[in-house]
Amino acid sequence: MGGKILILADVARLSHTYASRAVNEHVLGWLTAESPNCAMGNAMAKLARDGQRVLRDAQSLRLRAAWLYYVYGYTQKGIADRLGLARTTVVKLLDEALKRAEVQIWIAESTPEFIDLSLKLEDRLKLDEAIVVPGDDGADATAKAVGAALGALLSKTINDGMCVGVGWGRTLTASLATFRPPRRDNVKVVSLLGGVVEVTVTNPLEFTWRLANQLGAECFLFPAPLLVESAETRDRLFMRCGLDRLERLASSLDLAVLATGDIGAAATSLSKGLLSKAQLQELCEAGCICETLCNFLDSDGRSVAHPLNERVMSISLDTIARARHIIIATGGAARGEAILATRKRIGCNTLVTDEHAARRLLDLTN
């Protein structure tokens, strides 16, 4: 049985940033085609893919080397050190993977362990689909791995005539590396929140534009700052600057794609960089555990009582909850509570996450 990883000619190999990290010995990839649980009599409403195929070969050394090289950005020497091989052997493995057409852009395979995690999450959280990828240390590495799975998923699930609402974050931005859809007709991509003036990692407006451009879709940007000075300013911008049109578009989304981040002293959410230490402390004291589209929520998914929630320029979470299908994509054990809170608030049909968040979710819901 053979697995595949797609490598497109215009995709540069990821830079070497993770050579020192250990990769689980048994982890080679995740399901990006039809999940094996489809054959188990489970009537789940998974997002349809074009040309669905089940790709297998969980023990292939070539795929192990390809994962390290193309996804985690290891050098050939780094792979040789990691796998205990000669560098020339690594070169041959990567070359052979290409010749055998085993290389696409993502490792389209999942070990039994991850299949089990996916099935348990689907059952426990009443999901249509859960996609679990290998975990890694650090927010950037986790975002890259989860984002790669998300990009592969979106490449096959956004179809003609869809209205797609998108959020922001490292994970969503990372999805662009594996997002290679065919050109689609009559697709609308809607930004669900405003932008930031000072950009260090990612900007909601930039992500929306790049996603829409790759689809050949009509793009609806959110031309406002992410946070404004007062609730009155927010209301004026919505009513007098045409932003109410975005709210109307968002009220009939076919697909909503967003991430969620944890809030706290050790949090890695990008929104944390927009807050002062005093605001962060106030939010925590008010019971905030996460942010979704820069809306600050407690463990029950309710907006905490804090002025920041009245100043955020985003589509209402209650509006997003009406989307036909909602994808939440985020990873890391610290995001388990955030995923549950966001699911309580807006729902979740498909969850794309990593093994650490998956296990944390199962512990929290046991």
- Cα-only R_g, the chain: 20
Crossing angle of helices 355-364 and 112-125, in 10° steps, is 40
Predicted confidence at residue 2, as pLDDT, reads 44
Predicted confidence at residue 60, as pLDDT, reads 59
Inform me whether the pLDDT recorded for 353 exceeds 70: yes
Predicted confidence at residue 25, as pLDDT, reads 32
Q: Using pLDDT thresholds of 50, 70 and 90, give the confidence band for residue 51.
A: very low
Mean pLDDT confidence for 141-146: 92
Predicted confidence at residue 101, as pLDDT, reads 60
Among 2-6, 197-201, 271-275, the range scoring the smallest mean pLDDT is: 2-6
Inform me whether the pLDDT recorded for 225 exceeds 80: yes
Predicted confidence at residue 75, as pLDDT, reads 93
Place of tokens 């405003």: 194
Say if strands 350-354 and 326-329 run parallel, antiparallel, or are unpaired. Answer: parallel
Predicted confidence at residue 241, as pLDDT, reads 79
Residues 147-203: pLDDT tens digits? 999 999 999 999 999 999 999 888 999 999 889 888 899 999 999 998 876 555 567
Inform me whether the pLDDT recorded for 13 exceeds 70: no
Predicted confidence at residue 362, as pLDDT, reads 97
Inform me whether the pLDDT recorded for 301 exceeds 60: yes
Q: Using pLDDT thresholds of 50, 70 and 90, give the confidence band for residue 271.
A: low
Inform me whether the pLDDT recorded for 35 exceeds 50: no
Say if strands 290-292 and 295-297 run parallel, antiparallel, or are unpaired. Answer: antiparallel
Mean pLDDT confidence for 282-300: 94
Predicted confidence at residue 36, as pLDDT, reads 34
Inform me whether the pLDDT recorded for 332 exceeds 70: yes
Predicted confidence at residue 264, as pLDDT, reads 73
Kindly report the average pLDDT of the chain as a whole number. 80
Residue 244 in tokens: 């109410």
CA distance 294 to 272: 9
What pTM value is reported for the model? Answer: 0.71
Inform me whether the pLDDT recorded for 308 exceeds 50: yes
Q: Using pLDDT thresholds of 50, 70 and 90, give the confidence band for residue 34.
A: very low
More confident residue, 64 or 148: 148
Inform me whether the pLDDT recorded for 105 exceeds 60: no
Q: Using pLDDT thresholds of 50, 70 and 90, give the confidence band for residue 300.
A: very high
Mean pLDDT confidence for 244-270: 85
Predicted confidence at residue 243, as pLDDT, reads 85
Q: Are 111 and 26 in contact (CB under 8 A)?
A: yes
Domains in the chain: ranges and CATH: 159-348 (3.40.50.1360)
3-state secondary structure the chain: CCCCCECCCCCCCCCCCCCCCCCCCCCCCECCCCCHHHHHCCCCCCCCCCCCCCCCCCCCHHHHHHHHHHHCCCCHHHHHHHHCCCHHHHHHHHHHHHHCCCCECCCECCCHHHHHHHHHHHHHHCCCEEEEECCCCCHHHHHHHHHHHHHHHHHHHCCCCCEEEECCCHHHHHHHHHCCCCCCCCCEEEECECECCCCCCCCHHHHHHHHHHHHCCEEECCCCECECCCHHHHHHHHHHCCHHHHHHHHCCCCEEEECCEECCCCCCCHHHHHCCHHHHHHHHHCCCCEEECCEEECCCCCECCCCHHHHECECCHHHHCCCCCEEEECCCHHHHHHHHHHHHHHCCCEEEEEHHHHHHHHHHCC
Q: Are 339 and 357 in contact (CB under 8 A)?
A: yes
How far, in Å, are 190, 193, 321 from residue 241 at the CA level?
16, 15, 24
Predicted confidence at residue 336, as pLDDT, reads 96
More confident residue, 357 or 206: 357
CA distance 214 to 209: 9
More confident residue, 47 or 25: 47
Among 28-32, 108-112, 265-269, the range scoring the smallest mean pLDDT is: 28-32
Predicted confidence at residue 334, as pLDDT, reads 92
More confident residue, 362 or 85: 362
**Cα angle vertex 352, ends 167, 120, to 5°?**
140
